[in-house]
Amino acid sequence: MSRDKLSYSFEFSAPRDDEAIAKVKKVHARLGELSPHFYSVTYGAGGSTKDGTKQTVIDLNNLGTPVAAHISFGTDGPDLIRGLLHEYKEAGVTRLVALRGDIPSGVSGKGLPHANELVEFIRHETGDHFHIDVAAYPEFHPETRHVDDEIRYFKMKVDAGANSAITQYFYNADAYFRFMDRCNAAGVDVPVFPGIMPITNYDGIVRFSKICGAEIPQWIEKTLRNYKEDPASLKAFGDDVVTQMCERLIDGGAPGLHFYTLNQSAPTLRIWNKLGL
């Protein structure tokens, strides 16, 4: 398929205050020049970003291009989530990213409802109103105990009514292709959009990758470490590595790309331009 026909989307982190809201709006305007298919805004289940998510989703969605609200039960009960779903529906929001989320640190309690239960709940409450994305993990979710569970549970989310999926970020295209082979073998045929994390700083990417279970191949990690005090070289190397991986993903049949912008336009724009999109 021609590159121009693929789906491109940009994710924002839920803003916590007015300054952050203004920043997201600025980045949204800048990335809007690329005519993405949709944007999405993360949701801090149980935390302070819930209102920031809702207001940002509704405000940006009113500007035209669809904005997906990330949503999870977290530690909330069905009444609160039901209310939120109906607020989104009434405000004209048509897309959701349905997640289990994680228990916030310092909060104890039993496990959270899994994403397949949330997808079921959304379909029960609002029928086919929303296009629902779910998360996928080509390098496995950190809690996954057996490789076969990853596809089994992913299939449960799709069977519950998810339309498509966005992956956790990775820096090894083979993990994505292998994951897609396993989806095909299991009869899971929804589009799975690779999540793309630009590399802009060494400490941040190493720390976050450890938490979410994304592997940084050794040759990339060592090169980034060498460029730790040389931001220009780090940026150039990071852009090259991520762009080449995007090329491979597109050439290998990925249906599009979902960029984790971390509320910055420049890294995504650089990769976009290098890809010649």
Beta-bridged to residue 96, according to DSSP, are: 69, 132
Of 170, 237, 175, the residue nearest 201 (C-alpha): 237
Q: Name which of 158 and 234 has its Cβ closer to ligand FAD.
A: 158
> Considering the rule CB under 6 A, would residue 42 count as an interface residue with ligand FAD?
yes
> Considering the rule CB under 6 A, would residue 158 count as an interface residue with ligand FAD?
no
> How many residues make contact with ligand FAD (CB under 6 A)?
25
Binding mask 204-223 for ligand FAD (x = CB under 6 A): --------------------
Token pair of 27, please?
A: 């980045």
Q: Which residues contact 16 (CB under 8 A, 6 or more apart)?
A: 48, 49, 52
Among 27, 85, 93, 99, binds ligand FAD (CB under 6 A): 99
Distance CA(139)–CA(167), nearest Å, equals 9
> Considering the rule CB under 6 A, would residue 101 count as an interface residue with ligand FAD?
yes
Among 8, 43, 73, 130, binds ligand FAD (CB under 6 A): 43
Among 50, 54, 70, 270, binds ligand FAD (CB under 6 A): 70
Distance CA(276)–CA(60), nearest Å, equals 26
> Considering the rule CB under 6 A, would residue 143 count as an interface residue with ligand FAD?
yes
Q: Which residues contact 91 (CB under 8 A, 6 or more apart)?
A: 58, 61, 62
The answer to whether the CB of 178 falls within 8 A of the CB of 147 is no
> Considering the rule CB under 6 A, would residue 135 count as an interface residue with ligand FAD?
yes
The answer to whether the CB of 59 falls within 8 A of the CB of 24 is no
> Considering the rule CB under 6 A, would residue 267 count as an interface residue with ligand FAD?
no
Active-site residue list: 11
Give the interface with ligand FAD as residue ranges (CB under 6 A).
42-45, 70, 97, 99-102, 114-116, 135, 141, 143-144, 149-150, 153, 156-157, 166, 168, 195
